[in-house]
Amino acid sequence: MFPELFTIPFLNISIKSYGFMMVVGFILALWMARWRCRKLNENPDTIVNFAVWSLVLGVIGARLFHVVHYWELYKDDPKSIFAVWSGGLEFLGGFMFGIAGLVVYCKIKKVSVLKIADILAPSVMIGLALGRIGCLFNGCCYGDVCEKPWAVTFPAVNVIHDMKVGSEDNQYYRYSPPYQHQLEADFGRNPDAVPLITLPDDFYDGYSDGQYYYPHLGMVPEGVKVYRSPKSPNLLTPEQRDTLGHGDHAMHPIHPTQIYSFFTAIIICIVLNILFERRKYVGQMTAFLLILYGPTRFFLESLRSDNPIEFTGFTVSQNLGILSLIIGLALHFALRNKTKITHEE
């Protein structure tokens, strides 16, 4: 786990792995889309110009979905909403905002929405694949407890540097997201949940119900289920921090869902590239992207433990995965007899 890749010398600027992999994924996705444009004798500048729109709108949508989803993490520190470099983006939010931006852009430029969407479809998956490597480095989008040989664990604590140009390093500590998840009771998925990791008494400083912090048990409203809230690792002694993640304090192994997501995205990208040469109608790659991604996201979400269950009995991403499949099938059946492709273009 490497939430920070490196620090730029003399400038004291820390390069976050999540943001770095997002940029790499964006560049690779743009290169693939431009290559496809040239192969189809389309103007690559159309893709480049839209890329600026998609980057901005995608980040806004992905961040908005995450903030709404985890509002309790931001309500006391609104400024942290804008700290996208520290992680906290949801692909489906960026994808939906990107689609909206594509429709508006194509209407303004008077080009076919579906033709451009087909060109972009494989690129979306390669961008997602690289983004999931960023998730692995950052520790987000983590899996549920797993006993398989390929299960992974994460460090209990990360050292984070708050870099400001021209100033000294500000070093602080945070629990890695998977480790902190196991220190807390996941009431969002199970009302009878208990923490998976128990620490000594002096590692705690209050109680939590998953959203609110209560310094003393007497402050908890009657009938509210709580678990003991661990101290921030910044408040622990160096000796206490050294014991985290070892022995009885070790985290339970979990599914490497970021790696699963990387490979499924790569596979979908390859499938879409192969099918591109055999497509029968304009919009087919867009439909197939939705058809392939929806069920795989639904399944992968069942192996994750970072998203709460909603009123439907599924997570938000599972609900959107179902919607993705439905929209993809609807597009396929609505378009398959229209705008036939002769492969002479």
278 burial via Cβ count (<10 Å: 0-12, 13-18, 19+): exposed
This prediction's pTM: 0.86
Does residue 345 have a pLDDT over 50? no
Give the whole-angstrom CA distance, residue 53 versus residue 241: 44
Cβ atoms 30, 48 nearer than 8 A: yes
User: For position 46, what pLDDT does the model report?
Assistant: 82
What are the residue ranges of helices labelled H in the chain? 17-39, 44-69, 91-109, 113-138, 177-183, 238-243, 257-276, 284-302, 316-335
Domain spans, the chain: 4-145+255-335, 177-247
Give the whole-angstrom CA distance, residue 206 versus residue 201: 10
Does residue 82 have a pLDDT over 70? yes
Which residues pair with residue 213 across a beta bridge? 208
The mean pLDDT of 300-306, rounded to a whole number, is 93
Q: Please state, as a whole number, how many other Cβ atoms lie within 10 Å of the Cβ of residue 243.
A: 16
Q: What percent of the chain has pLDDT over 90?
A: 49
Give the whole-angstrom CA distance, residue 85 versus residue 162: 12
Q: Please state, as a whole number, how many other Cβ atoms lie within 10 Å of the Cβ of residue 90.
A: 23
- pLDDT tens-digit readout, 26-79: 899 999 999 999 988 888 888 888 877 777 887 788 788 777 776 766 777 777
333 burial via Cβ count (<10 Å: 0-12, 13-18, 19+): exposed
The mean pLDDT of 261-278, rounded to a whole number, is 95
- The amino acid occupying position 45 is D
Does residue 175 have a pLDDT over 90? yes
Q: Please state, as a whole number, how many other Cβ atoms lie within 10 Å of the Cβ of residue 302.
A: 14
Q: Are strands 170-175 and 157-162 parallel, antiparallel or unpaired?
A: antiparallel
- pLDDT tens-digit readout, 97-140: 878 888 888 888 888 889 889 999 999 999 999 989 988 998 88
Minimal CA–CA distance to 65: which of 28, 34, 90?
Answer: 90
The mean pLDDT of 129-157, rounded to a whole number, is 92
Q: Please state, as a whole number, how many other Cβ atoms lie within 10 Å of the Cβ of residue 113.
A: 17
DSSP assignment of 141-165, as one string?
A: S-B-B--STT-B---SEEEEEE--T
Does residue 5 have a pLDDT over 90? no
- pLDDT tens-digit readout, 197-212: 999 999 999 999 988 8
User: For position 304, what pLDDT does the model report?
Assistant: 94
User: For position 168, what pLDDT does the model report?
Assistant: 46
Give the whole-angstrom CA distance, residue 49 versus residue 105: 9
User: For position 281, what pLDDT does the model report?
Assistant: 92
